[in-house]
């Protein structure tokens, strides 16, 4: 098995999934965002978003804060320090992986 | 649109979306409109309507119309600093206004040099410079390009006011304000069509 493929196996699969990659990318560029913002920007449904955020939360990458705004439940999501470092690492890995590809 | 995932573009897209609702335009337009109408009606307190009625109404509209549609987001430090600098622009504009007022008080004492009289005769241009400049600087600070256009529009309309004797400052401000207000209303209607309300259930509901 080539060295490249081995490198690919070390990729963080929690972030690597396309929907979670979009969620993590948005949370990386802002400080925190609520569900509606993430739904609008990622195009995910409420259920999908909840499921992916749960996985990110279980991995310790995202912190979910529930609060009440005008008597209505309001949920904010924020990338944790671990999540921010994991996303940085993922970016570096992917960049290295694709930059090492031979010219076509 | 490029399919390449660019974090910078993602952030910019999210930021610009917070200006799509047109409430800024409605606020700026109604401000100039009420200023213009207060000059035309010769009733200065009329301009106070903007602060007392329209400002709180716009803030409330933001909460009721915008957040349920595009959600709530807190941007990172760089954007927060830009918004903080807005206070500086507003303070600067106010100081310029006070200085201009003091200058006019000085003119009324008489015995003023020719250059000062010239400024007094063309005060409308200087008002245009202050307001137009404030809009352009604000546009630059918050990365909101429409404000450049509004700045040029305000300055241009006041140059026209100064060039044509008899063309009233109140009419000029009312027309510019009315135009910006209409643009804002059109943007708000488009925004409401484009983004339906999301009555989102709580996250806890999913787990139960």
ipTM for the complex shown: 0.77
- For residue A35, the chain B residue with the least C-alpha distance is B71
- What value does the mean pLDDT take over residues B180-207? 79
Are A33 and B71 an interchain contact pair (Cβ–Cβ within 8 Å)?
Answer: yes
pLDDT score at A52: 95
Range A66-71 average pLDDT: 77
pLDDT for A104 equals 63
Residue A30 and residue B67: Cβ atoms within 8 Å? no
pLDDT given for residue A2 in this prediction: 56
Which among B10, B74, B198 has the least Cβ separation from residue A26?
B10
- pLDDT at B156 (0 to 100): 92
Q: Report CB contact under 8 Å: A30, B72.
A: no
Q: Domain A12-86, CATH 1.20.120.1200 — does that match?
A: no
Nearest CA in chain B to A28: B7
pLDDT of residue B25: 92
How does the average pLDDT of chain B come out, rounded? Answer: 82
**Which residues of chain A from 17 to 56 reach within 8 Å of chain B, CB to CB?**
21, 25-26, 28-41, 46-47, 50, 53
- Measured CA to CA, the distance from residue A38 to residue A24 in angstroms comes to 10
Whether the per-residue pLDDT at A12 is higher than 90: the answer is: no
Tell me what pLDDT residue B4 has. Answer: 58
């Amino acid at each position: 098995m080539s060295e490249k493929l081995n490198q690919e196996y070390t990729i963080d699969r929690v972030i690597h999934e396309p929907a979670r990659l979009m969620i993590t990318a948005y949370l990386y560029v802002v400080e925190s965002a609520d569900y509606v913002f993430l739904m609008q920007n990622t195009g995910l449904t409420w259920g999908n978003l909840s499921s992916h955020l749960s996985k990110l939360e279980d991995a310790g990458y995202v912190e979910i804060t529930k609060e009440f705004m005008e008597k209505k439940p309001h949920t904010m999501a924020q990338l944790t320090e671990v999540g921010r470092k994991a996303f940085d690492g993922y970016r570096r890995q992917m960049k290295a992986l694709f930059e090492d590809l031979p010219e076509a | 649109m490029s399919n390449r995932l660019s974090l910078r573009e993602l952030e910019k897209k999210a930021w610009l979306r917070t200006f799509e609702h047109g409430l800024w335009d409605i606020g700026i337009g109604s401000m100039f409109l009420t200023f213009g109408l207060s000059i035309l009606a010769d009733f200065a307190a009329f301009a106070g309507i903007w602060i007392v009625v329209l400002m709180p109404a716009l803030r409330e509209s933001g909460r009721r119309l915008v957040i349920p549609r595009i959600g709530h987001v807190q941007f990172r430090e760089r954007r927060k600093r830009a918004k903080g600098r807005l206070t500086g622009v507003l303070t600067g504009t106010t100081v310029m206004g006070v200085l201009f007022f003091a200058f006019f008080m000085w003119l009324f004492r008489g015995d003023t040099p020719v250059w000062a009289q010239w400024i007094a005769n063309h005060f409308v241009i200087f008002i245009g410079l202050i307001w137009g400049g404030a809009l352009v600087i604000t546009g630059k600070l918050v990365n909101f390009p429409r404000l450049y256009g509004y700045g040029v529009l305000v300055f241009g309309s006041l140059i026209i006011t100064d060039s044509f004797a008899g063309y009233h400052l109140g009419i000029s401000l009312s027309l510019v304000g009315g135009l910006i207000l209409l643009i804002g209303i059109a943007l708000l209607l488009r925004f409401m069509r484009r983004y339906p309300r999301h009555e989102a259930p709580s996250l806890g509901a999913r787990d139960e």
